Amino acid sequence: MREAFTIGGVTIKAGKQAQVDLPIPNLYTHDPMSCPVYVIHGKHPGPVLFLSGAIHGDEINGVEIIRRVLKRKAVHQIHGTLVAVPVVNIFGFISKTRYLPDRRDLNRSFPGSETGSLAARIANIFLTEVVSRCTHGIDLHTAAIHRDNFPQIRAVLGNPEVARMARAFNSPVILNTAIVDGTLRKSAEKLGIQVIVYEAGEALRFDEVAIRVGVKGIIAVMRELNMLPKLTRSAGTRDAFEATSSTWVRAHKSGILRASKTLGMRVAKGESLGVISDPFGGDEEIVSASVEGIIIGRTNIPLVNEGEALFHLARFANSDEVVAGQVEELQNPMDPGTELNPAAELPNVQVLNR
């Protein structure tokens, strides 16, 4: 029999599951606070995978992704262990903000400490109670408020195990990025835990396509890690576009932006992305792509100040044809990724290329 799994002082026997509420600092109104963790501890040995959502409190797509993953029947029969934390930054989630009440960014506060700031204390609790007990992890994010991200995995592809997870996820884009100090990913890497980040959609909004790509991606990674049975028939995996670098196109002047290109579109160097005009009817100037690539992020606010980031472009090493085919596919409504009634779900599908 497999050994029991202990988290937050609760012991879960092999073949059992439990919700464990990790205590975090209380509110000043005396209200007790906790961070709910759902553990499925399989009968059979295997990887211990964490899923984390809302480390940035307003990035809610990941919360819905984790809810749908936990609704899957097969996930309750896994090999190994799943540790799902839908909302890591409970304080930010309640107040619908990215940050903690001490105005710190939780994803710049790792590894944290027992005696540091509120952000540092929560980082420390999450790292010691959850992350350090795992072998693998998938951290779910969206773009910041008033920005939108095309579904993408961020990972260090030089690490073969991370690269295997990143490619299995089957998102349209993989950005091979260096890891920023203070992030969960940095601390996990130091502990030898394999972590990828999924970025898709916008803060404070549900994006149906981003959510479905996320649910399918997590299930596909669990199959790759042998936590779930491999499919006898291929689910249609294909090469993602692996970008080795990305760049932001910024506003060269203040004004009103009318974007003519959107997420997932491929653009040539020098191609027009939109126009910045004067609100009083004066000058109009074209914003053009600084490099050839795919638009993986954009601003949703048309009112821009000089220097503001407008479009995030990823550069690709892959062939042009592959890029075009994949992006077209994502612009169609996707197959329902859950047991939900597709007829009830499809009218709300947000098509990326509006």
List of residues contacting Zn ion (CB under 5 A):
56, 59, 141
Polymer length in residues for the chain = 354
Q: Which residue is nearest to Zn ion (CB)?
A: 141
Least separation in angstroms between CB 45 and Zn ion:
32
CA distances from 155 to 139, 266, 297, 318 (A): 11, 22, 17, 17
Minimum distance from CB of 153 to Zn ion (Å)?
14
Shortest reach from residue 182's CB to Zn ion, in Å = 13
The backbone region for 244, taken as left when phi is positive above 0, alpha when psi lies in -120 to 50, beta otherwise, is alpha
Q: State the minimum distance, in angstroms, from the CB of residue 323 to Zn ion.
A: 25
Nearer to Zn ion, 122 or 227 (CB): 122
**Residue 11: other Cβ atoms inside 10 A:** 12
Closest CB to Zn ion among residues 136, 141: 141
CB of 56 or CB of 312, closer to Zn ion: 56
- Between strands 272-277 and 173-176, the pairing is unpaired
CB atoms near residue 25 (< 10 Å): 15
In whole angstroms, the minimum distance from the beta carbon of 88 to Zn ion comes to 10
Say if CB 171 and CB 151 are below 8 A apart: yes
Nearer to Zn ion, 141 or 298 (CB): 141
Q: Show the DSSP H helices in the chain as ranges.
A: 61-71, 90-95, 118-129, 160-169, 184-190, 208-224, 320-330, 342-345
Taking the complex as a whole, the smallest distance from the CB of residue 93 to Zn ion amounts, in Å, to 12
Q: What token pair was written down for 344?
A: 């009830």
CB of 183 to Zn ion, least distance (A): 10
Residue with smaller CB distance to Zn ion, 141 or 261: 141
Give least dist CB 107 to Zn ion, A: 6
Nearer to Zn ion by Cβ, of 59 and 148: the residue is 59
Instruction: Using alpha carbons only, give the angle 215, 195, 239 rounded to the nearest 5 degrees.
Output: 60
β-sheet bridge partners, residue 139? 52, 197
Q: Which CB, 42 or 112, lies closer to Zn ion?
A: 112
**61 or 194: whose CB is closer to Zn ion?**
61
Cα 106 from chain centroid? 15
Residue 10, classed as helix, strand or coil, is strand
Query: What interhelical angle do 208-224 and 160-169 show, nearest 10?
Result: 130
